Structure formats: structure tokens, C-alpha cells
Chains A and B, each alone.
Chain A
Amino acid sequence: MLKEYLAISMFFIVALLIPVAVIFISRLVAPKKTTPEKEEVYECGVDTVGDTWIRFKTSYFLYALVFVVFDVETVFLYPWAVQFQQLGTFAFVEMFIFIAILVVGFWYAWKEGALEWK
């Protein structure tokens, strides 16, 4: 198994090296003529006003929260789905309860408007 993951790490390393190489090669052939205008923030020709890094709305955070909960649920659901046919009725009922508990949370998030884009 470790052999397979050595191969996976090979994929990752090569995947990081290729863009570096490509960008490097392009730097060799591409022109390099910077002007002050070119280095400005691109805002369709209008001078930029104020900071970019300002406070964002809470909607983003709420979606991320609900996402984390469901992401963790996936982690439980996948092993269960694999073993589903072997484990029988009891496991099915257990997972039913598990999902039901989380659906309560989902319903609460829905009711509280956490899924609403405001």
C-alpha cells in the first residue's frame, strides 16, 4: 500500500514542478516591460478606492459551518455505504438515526435562515 502512496506523492511533486517549470520557461521568452500603470490594481480603468481586505458578511461563515458539519457526516457515511450490504438491518437503522439527528440540525439551520443569502 505504501508503494501506491509513494506513487501518489510522485504525482503531487510533479504536479507542483510542472507549473514552476512552465512559468520559468515563459519568463525566458516573454518581454519584461513594466510601467507604473501596468502595475496598478485592475479596476476597469478606475482608480481603486479604499481597502480590499475588509470585513465580509456572515453568510459566508454560516455556509462554511453547515458545510463542515456535513463534511464530517460524509466521513461516517462512506464507510457505512461500503459495508451496508454486509452489516444488515441494525446498521441501516443506526445510520437512519445518525442522518435523522443531522437533519434536525439542517432543519434548524434552514429555519434560522443560515441557508439564506442576505
Chain B
Amino acid sequence: MNDMVFATAFYILAGITILSAVGVVFLKNIVHSAFLLALAFFGVAGIYVLLNAEFLAAVQLLVYGGAIAVLIAFGVMLIQRRDMSSSNPDAAWSPLGLGMAVMAMVVFIAAIVLTQFPVTNVAPEFSVEGLARLLLTDYVVAFEAAAVLLLAAMVGAIILAKGAKEA
């Protein structure tokens, strides 16, 4: 019974994610693509929940569903364009995109197959407390590096946006 609910939920969420991702690529209107991307993020958040990573799911919703989606929408508003109904130019770049996608897929599959995943009988701890402890003790360098990365992202983006304004 429980397994069935779990499987159903997984397939529904995976279906939402994949279908909306396909929509992002194939829809002609770029704003529709942006909204569907938000839906795909939502599906991924659901899959995180199924993996017992509730905090990560909320993060996914907050950062991707709330922030990145808005950023993309505003980015779209920034672009000059004529006809909205064909604003998602595709044809010219699709072979390149396909090549990149295949390459990324090969890398991911290789990573999944080659990694020795530790298997234990102990249920992993996914609590916020555990996350904080790890982040601030074992992975403190990565944690501070994230801050620097965010700083670099902000500075770079501001310079780019200012350039866009002057042009």
C-alpha cells in the first residue's frame, strides 16, 4: 500500500517535471517557457520530498520556484523582441544544444555508474540540525566558498546589467 502510494507520487512528480521541461524547450513563446520552468522546479521539489530531504525541497521551492523563476521572467522582459508568439528562437542552435545535452547526460550517467555509493542499514539523517552541523564543521570551507561565489555572482551580474543599460 505504502509502496504503491510512493510509486504513484514519484511517477506523477516525474511526469510533471519531464513534461514541463519538454515544454520549456519546445514552446514557441519564451514567457510560457519561463512559467513551465517554474512548474518543473516544483516537480523537482516534490521528488526531494520523496527522498526524505524536506529542507532541500523547501529550498528548491524558495530559491528556484520563487527567485530564479522571477529572475528569468525579468530577464525575458529585458530582452528586446518583436513578436511574442515566436520569441523562443530554436532552429539554428538546436544541433549544438542537443550535443551539449548528450554530453551532459554521458557525464551524469558515468558519474552515477562509477561512484561507489555507501550502503548502510541506518537511515540517513536529513534534518536541518544535521545539515547545519555538517555545514559549519566538516564542510566549512565549502560553506565560506559559497559566500565568495555568491559575492562574485552579484558583482559580475551588476557589471553585466550596467553594460546592458549603457548599450
Q: Which residues on B are within 8 Å of A, measured CB to CB?
A: 5-6, 9, 46, 49-50, 52, 54-55, 59, 62-63, 66-68, 70-71, 74-75, 77-81, 84, 128-129, 131-133, 135-137, 140, 143-144, 146-148, 150-151, 153-155, 157-158, 161-162, 164-165
Contacts and interface: CB of A to CB of B under 8 A. Distances in A.
A69 B158 CA distance: 12
A56 B147 contact: no
B63 A101 contact: no
Contacts of B154: 65-66, 69, 105, 108-109
B143 A61 contact: no
A108 B63 contact: no
Interface string A74-118: 111011101100110011001101100110110011001010000
Q: Which of A56, A72, A87 has the most C-beta atoms of chain B within 10 angstroms of its own C-beta?
A: A72
Contact of A82 (B54, B71, B129, B151): B129
Contacts of B80: 55
A23 interface: no
Interface residues of A, number: 45
A98 B143 contact: yes
Given A56-B77, A72-B63, A112-B162, A87 B136 contact: yes
Contacts of A102: 147, 150-151
B147 A64 contact: no
Interface string A26-55: 000000000000000000000000000101
A66 to B, nearest CB: 7
A66 B77 CA distance: 17
Q: Which of B46, B132, B146, B148 has the most C-beta atoms of chain A within 10 angstroms of its own C-beta?
A: B132
A82 to B, nearest CB: 5
Contact of A80 (B59, B136, B162): B136
